[in-house]
Structure 1
Amino acid sequence: MIILTAFLFCCQLAGAQTITQSTDTFFVFNKLAGEQVTDFTVDNLGNLYIVNKTGQIKKTGPAGDSIAVFNNVRQFGKLYLIDVTNPLRVLLYFRDFGTIVVLDRFLNTRATIDLRKQQLFQVNAIGQSYDNNIWVYDEMESKLKRVGEDGRVLDQTTDFRLIVDTAPSPQFIVDQNRLVYIYDSLKGVYLFDYYGAFKNRIQLKGWTDFTVIANAMYGRDANMLYRYEPGTLNLQNYPIPVAMRDAQKIKITPGYLYVLRNNRLEVFSYR
C-alpha cells in the first residue's frame, strides 16, 4: 500500500510542471500537529517524533495519541539528527559530542555509543543500516563505515578519494532497497551497495530534506519539491506553495507533507 501511494504521488508530480505556481490546492491542510517545535521526523508507520524547545522528544501515533517521551536530550549537547528508519530502533545523534544514543520503540535508552573512542572524530552523517547496525561517514578517512551498538567498526569502504574525483561531506545517509545513498548538497548523491562497492554518482545538488521512498529520491530547495528515480532522465518537480517557502523543514511521506514553519508543525494531504 505504501509503494502504491508513493507511486500515485509520483504520477501527480510528473504532471505537476503543467500546474501554475498559484495552484496551491495540490496540498490540502490536514491538521496542526504541534507548536513550539524545533525539529521533527516521521517513521514508516506514521508515528510522529516532535522535539520541542525544552529539548523533549515526544512520540505520537498516527491518530495523535501519545506513545512515549524522551527527556534526557540535553545530556550530550544539541541534538543534531533523529533517524527513525526502523521504528523499533530510534537513533539520536549528538554531533558535538560524537555520541549516538539508541532508543527502543518506547524511547527507552538501549545503548550509548561514543564514536570518539573508536577514533571517529569527524562524523557529520549517520544512518540505520540494513542489519540493525549503523552507517557513519568518517570524513577524516573519507570512508563509509558500519558500526555496531558497542561502537566497533564492523566494515568499511575504500577511501572515497581513490574511487571518485572528490570525496563528499554528506548531510544524509539513507539505507534503502539494498543501496546506501550518501547525499552531499554541494556534490550530489553517491550510491553504494551493502558491500561498499561504488555504484553511481548523481549530480542532484542544492537539495535539503533529502529522503528516499521506494526507489525514488526526494528533496527540495527554496521554491521546488523534487523527485528523481535513478536510471531515468526524468527529474520531476512541483512548485512549493508560497505560504510554505519560509519552512524550516519539509518532510515528504506517502500521502502527507509535513511542514515546520514558525515553530509550528503543519500536516498537509496531497491529491
Structure 2
Amino acid sequence: MRSLTVYIFFTFLGLMAGQGTLAQSSPALTLVESIAANSDFFTVDPLGNLYWTNREGLTKYEPASKTYLHYSNPRFGQIHLVDASDPLNVMVYHRDFMHIVWLDRNLAEKEAPHSAAGILPGFPGVVCSSALGGFWVFVPQDMRLQQYSQDFRLQAQSLPFFEILPAFGEPAFITEANARLYVSEPNAGIAVFDTFGNFLFIIEKKGIERFQVQGNHVVWFSEKELINFDFVLQEETLFLLPETKIRSGLVSGSKIWVHTGNDIRIYQAAGRLF
C-alpha cells in the first residue's frame, strides 16, 4: 500500500466561444492491487471485476474472491474488444471474422438465437453494447450507426455521417451511457446521439479515442493524467497520477484502474473523484 498526494494549481483559459475552466486537482491515492496482465485491451464491469485480452483470449479477474476465469474461441480469431457494461451479458467482438459472442458471468458462451448469425455488416471497427439488450455498430460502407437486437435484427440507425457530420471520418470509439450514444472521431470531436440514432450535439474535444461518460462528465487518460471534462459547465479537471507511462485507464466511483504495460494497477481515492 502507498499513499500518493499530488500538488494542485489552477489556471484558466477560454474554451471555444465561452469561458471555460481548466484545473489540476490533488486526490490522495492508495495503491490497492497490481495484477500481472500482458494485455492488449482491458475493461471493468459495474461490480469492479476486471477483464483483459491478449492473443490467448479473454481473462476475467474478480478482486473480491481473487478468482480468474478465461475465455477463448480460436474459430473466430483474436478478440478486438470487450464490453462488460452488463456483467451478466458480456459482449466480445472478434473483428477478424466480424463476429459477436455473448458470455455469461462465468465467461461461458451463451447460445445464440436461431435467427442470429452473429456476423456483423460491413467489417466495423467499433461496436458497443446497448442498454436495450443488443448492440451499436458503425458501418463504414454506409457511414452510419446501426443498433441491433441481440438476435441481429436492425432496431435503429442514424443518417449517413456525410449528411449530418461531414467533418467526421470513421469513429475510433463508441459507447452508450445515460440513454445516449457517444461517438469519438479524434480529428473532429465527440458526437452525441439518442437511442433512436438521432444526432443531438457535438462535444468539442478532439484528440480523444477511448473514453468514459459518467453523467455530464467525459473522462479519459493521458500518459500521466486522468482528465475529466464537464461538457455542461465547460470545465476541465486534470488529476495528476503516480504513473508516467499509462497506456489506458478507467475510473469508477473512487477507484482508478491504469494499464502500464505488463500490469494493471488499482488505486483507491479517499472519495469520489467527481
Tell me which interval the TM-score lies in, with the shorter structure as reference length: 0.7 to 0.9
Query: C-alpha distance in 1, partners of 2:223/2:208?
Result: 9
Equivalent residue letter for 2:233: T
Kindly indicate whether the alpha-carbon contact (under 8 Å) linking 2:123 and 2:140 is maintained by their aligned counterparts in 1. Answer: yes
Structure 1: which amino acid aligns with 2:253?
A: P
List per-residue Cα deviations over 1:177-219 (Å, max 9, x = no partner).
Answer: 1211111222211001112221111121122431112331101
Q: Distance in 2 between matches of 1:197 and 1:16?
A: 40
Q: Which residue of 2 aligns with 1:175?
A: 176
> Is the Cα contact below 8 Å between 1:30 and 1:267 reproduced in 2?
yes
- Equivalenced residue count is 248
1:28 paired to 2:30: yes
The structure richer in helix per residue is: 1
What's the counterpart of residue 114 of structure 1? 119
Partner of 1:4: none
1:102 aligns with 2:107: no
Which residue of 2 is the match for residue 8 of structure 1?
Answer: none
1:5 is matched with none
Quote the residue 1:82 is aligned against.
Answer: 82
> Structure 1 runs of 4+ off > 4 angstroms?
15-19
* 2:21 aligned partner: none
SS class of match (1:161) = helix
Distance 1:152 1:213, change over 3 A: same
In structure 2, what is the equivalent of residue 213 of structure 1? 214
Q: State the one-letter code of the partner of 1:42.
A: V
Work out the CA distance in 1 between the residues paired with 2:238 and 2:260.
21
2:158 match: 157
Query: Superposition pairs for residues 119-198 of structure 1, below 5 Å?
Result: 120-198=121-199
Amino acid paired to 1:255? S
Aligned twin of 1:10:
none
Give the percent of matched residue pairs that are identical in Structure 1 and Structure 2: 25
Letter in 1 for 2:137: V
- 8 Å CA contact 2:218–2:229 kept in 1: the answer is yes
- For residue 39 of structure 1, the aligned residue among 38, 41, 52 is 41
Question: How high is the TM-score relative to the length of structure 2?
Answer: 0.81
What corresponds to 1:266 in structure 2? 265
Residue identity in the other structure for 1:218: V
In the aligned structure 1, how far is the partner of 2:269 from the partner of 2:177?
Answer: 24
When residues 212 and 30 of structure 1 are mapped into structure 2, their CA distance, relative to the original with a 3 A threshold, is: same
Aligned partner of 1:84: which letter? A
Return the offset for 1:103: 1.2
Report the more deviating stretch, 130-139 or 170-179: 170-179
Q: Which amino acid aligns with 2:244?
A: R
- C-alpha displacement of 1:262: 2.7
CA RMSD of aligned residues (A): 2.6
Q: Cα distance, 1:176 vs. partner?
A: 1.1
Offset, 1:109 = 1.2
Contact 1:256 1:270 in 2 (8 A): yes
Give the AA of the match of 2:256: L
**1:252–1:258 Cα contact (<8 Å) kept:** yes
1:204-253 deviation line (CA, Å, top 9, x unaligned): 11224311123311012334321122322212222343xx2322221222
2:58 and 2:79 in contact (8 A); partners too: no
Look up the match of 1:6. Answer: none
Q: Counterpart of 1:85 in 2: which secondary structure?
A: coil
Equivalent pair of 1:185/1:207 in contact (CA under 8 Å): yes
Cα 1:98–1:17 change in 2 (3 A) is farther
Gaps of 5+ in 2: 1-5, 12-24
Q: 1:189 to 1:54 in 2, by over 3 A?
A: closer
1:49 counterpart residue number? 51
**Superposed CA offset, 1:109-147 (max 9, x none):** 1236111xxxx2231111111211100011211111011
Any residues of structure 2 matched to 1:194-205 within 5 Å, and which?
A: 194-205=195-206
> 1: distance between equivalents of 2:267 and 2:258?
8
Report what 2:16 is aligned to. none
TM-score of the pair, normalised by structure 1: 0.82
